[in-house]
A and B are shown apart, each in its own frame.
Chain A
């Protein structure tokens, strides 16, 4: 079995030597002697290949460990912000209820995703849920459009739903997230998109290893009035007195726009936390995997090295015994 391994290694190192590459004069003479021996067909095993592979795996392990540290520090910073903002959407849900099953003609699905990759499966989950919502709300006379925040969801949704994408925003996390930026973004969306119901899809941050896909629904003022008259969850809305502003519909419009910007702010912060958490665990498992590979390669390296020593010893001894005998 050892001889078969040696033969296999010999054939493998022949291939890269055929391609010309610049010879570094400073490289150790050991490497060049290995190459010469192999060219002559002698079974002297080169440990250079395994050593190169080990070096590259070690570098990858260092990079992924560093990325995990960076993600951990970014997560700490943004997690406090997200926790502080969690009280922002609760009054709206307490007042207007939670109506994901509302039946409207114009649905707009706002998908929040990240710009950078290497963050596990959260972007794919968001896209799957968005597609599911699209399917749920499709039908005759009903239309369903996408507004995409983040590069990753855009790349996935452009493949099969290109005509349904209304707006796409990228590079949202260049500056740390703050409410003013989100308010401007929300204003942009509300101005350019006709909607009866906005469904925001994001990943809620439960813990560093758990992210729950969530959808929040924001209704347009006309639909709010319609649902209030129809009764059900919003039926109590009529019992509230409206003050400020001239008409009820004006106040309701301000209310829904304010609700959208608050819910968006919280959703973007939660999604950013989930992204950093997912990146931490992805980089952690990648470093661990690289460590395992390094262990296996070290074993192969030692075996190869010992085999070449054994081969040399055999040659010397057989040569000596041939001279004697």
Chain B
């Protein structure tokens, strides 16, 4: 029995070590002020049920604004069904803002822009990757992080010229035969998208 003792002690010690390697609750980052207010109010009124979690609990906090302008821009391009670029360090991006093409460099002023259908080009060193975006929003934060949220983004080399021409003709015909405002608006949207596609292919 004494021979088994060291093995037994070793197992106990390693189990204890494994237990203590988990972080204490005080070591974890503290919740933000708004969250604790919500949690306290919940606990007071509804003590029996645990309060629900909120989205900030699932997200890593963003880095604060640095004092000097960083050398690279961090880009996140997200679509509903995929994250095309996540935390990619690039030199410059040109986004198709509603007011025209907008270039974003590191240290750009914080901006919220609406996007119209057009080309997004990502410049990194000597590589330029172009995507056709269907529209969405772009946020540029003061800490040189750019979030671009679009519904669709396809690389430009995947677009078929013939289908674009056909689609443009079809929507122009729809605009001519449209009677209600809703139909006119829909046809106009179609024309906008297809002409942007056309311009993307030729330009």
Please report which residues of chain B, range 78-137, place their CB below 8 angstroms from some CB of chain A when the two chains form the complex. 78-83, 86, 97-99, 102, 109-116, 136-137
Q: Is B141's CB under 8 angstroms from A97's CB?
A: no
A154 to B93, CA, bound (A): 47
- Asked if A243 meets B81 with Cβ closer than 8 Å, knowing A94-B147, A213-B52, the reply is no
Q: Is B35's CB under 8 angstroms from A242's CB?
A: no
Q: Is B112's CB under 8 angstroms from A243's CB?
A: yes
Q: Is B55's CB under 8 angstroms from A89's CB?
A: yes
A16 contacts partner chain B, Cβ-Cβ < 8 Å: no
A100 contacts partner chain B, Cβ-Cβ < 8 Å: yes
- B147's closest neighbor in chain A, by CB? A91
- Asked if A258 meets B54 with Cβ closer than 8 Å, knowing A85-B80, A239-B110, the reply is no
Q: Is A232's CB under 8 angstroms from B34's CB?
A: yes
Q: Is A212's CB under 8 angstroms from B98's CB?
A: no
B176 contacts partner chain A, Cβ-Cβ < 8 Å: no
B41 contacts partner chain A, Cβ-Cβ < 8 Å: yes
Residues of chain A lying within 8 A (CB to CB) of residue B113? 242-244
A136 contacts partner chain B, Cβ-Cβ < 8 Å: yes
Q: Is A100's CB under 8 angstroms from B81's CB?
A: no
Binds A, one of B56-64, B165-173, B193-201: B56-64
A128 → chain B closest CB, angstroms:
6
**Contact bitstring A78-102, B, C-beta under 8 A = 1, else 0:** 0001001101111111110111110
A136 to B47, CA, bound (A): 12
Within 8 Å by CB of A214, from B53, B59, B147, lies B53
Q: Is A100's CB under 8 angstroms from B34's CB?
A: yes
Q: Is A84's CB under 8 angstroms from B112's CB?
A: no
Q: Is A251's CB under 8 angstroms from B42's CB?
A: no
A245 to B111, CA, bound (A): 13
Q: Is A91's CB under 8 angstroms from B42's CB?
A: no
- Asked if A216 meets B86 with Cβ closer than 8 Å, knowing A241-B109, A262-B80, A262-B149, the reply is no
Q: Is B142's CB under 8 angstroms from A242's CB?
A: no
SS of B interface (majority)? mixed
Q: Is A214's CB under 8 angstroms from B34's CB?
A: no
B3 → chain A closest CB, angstroms:
40
A215 contacts partner chain B, Cβ-Cβ < 8 Å: yes
A85 to B81, CA, bound (A): 5
A236 → chain B closest CB, angstroms:
8
Q: Is A258's CB under 8 angstroms from B136's CB?
A: yes
**Contact bitstring A30-54, B, C-beta under 8 A = 1, else 0:** 0000000000000000000000000
Please report which residues of chain A, range 257-308, place their CB below 8 angstroms from some CB of chain B when the two chains form the complex. 258, 262, 265
Q: Is B41's CB under 8 angstroms from A136's CB?
A: yes
Within 8 Å by CB of B137, from A93, A258, A265, lies A258
A92 to B86, CA, bound (A): 15
B50 → chain A closest CB, angstroms:
8
**Contact bitstring A93-127, B, C-beta under 8 A = 1, else 0:** 11101111100000000000000000000000000
B151 contacts partner chain A, Cβ-Cβ < 8 Å: yes
B46 contacts partner chain A, Cβ-Cβ < 8 Å: yes
A155 → chain B closest CB, angstroms:
20
14 of the cross-chain contacts (CB-CB < 8 Å) are: A87-B76, A88-B149, A90-B78, A128-B49, A129-B52, A132-B42, A179-B80, A213-B53, A240-B111, A240-B139, A242-B112, A244-B97, A244-B114, A262-B149
18 new A-B contacts at CB < 8 Å, known A84-B82, A214-B55: A81-B81, A90-B147, A94-B139, A94-B141, A95-B141, A132-B42, A135-B46, A136-B45, A136-B46, A178-B81, A179-B81, A201-B52, A213-B52, A214-B53, A243-B99, A243-B102, A245-B114, A265-B80
Residue numbers of B with Cβ under 8 A of A are 32-35, 37-38, 41-42, 45-46, 49-56, 58-59, 62, 76, 78-83, 86, 97-99, 102, 109-116, 136-137, 139, 141-142, 145, 147, 149, 151
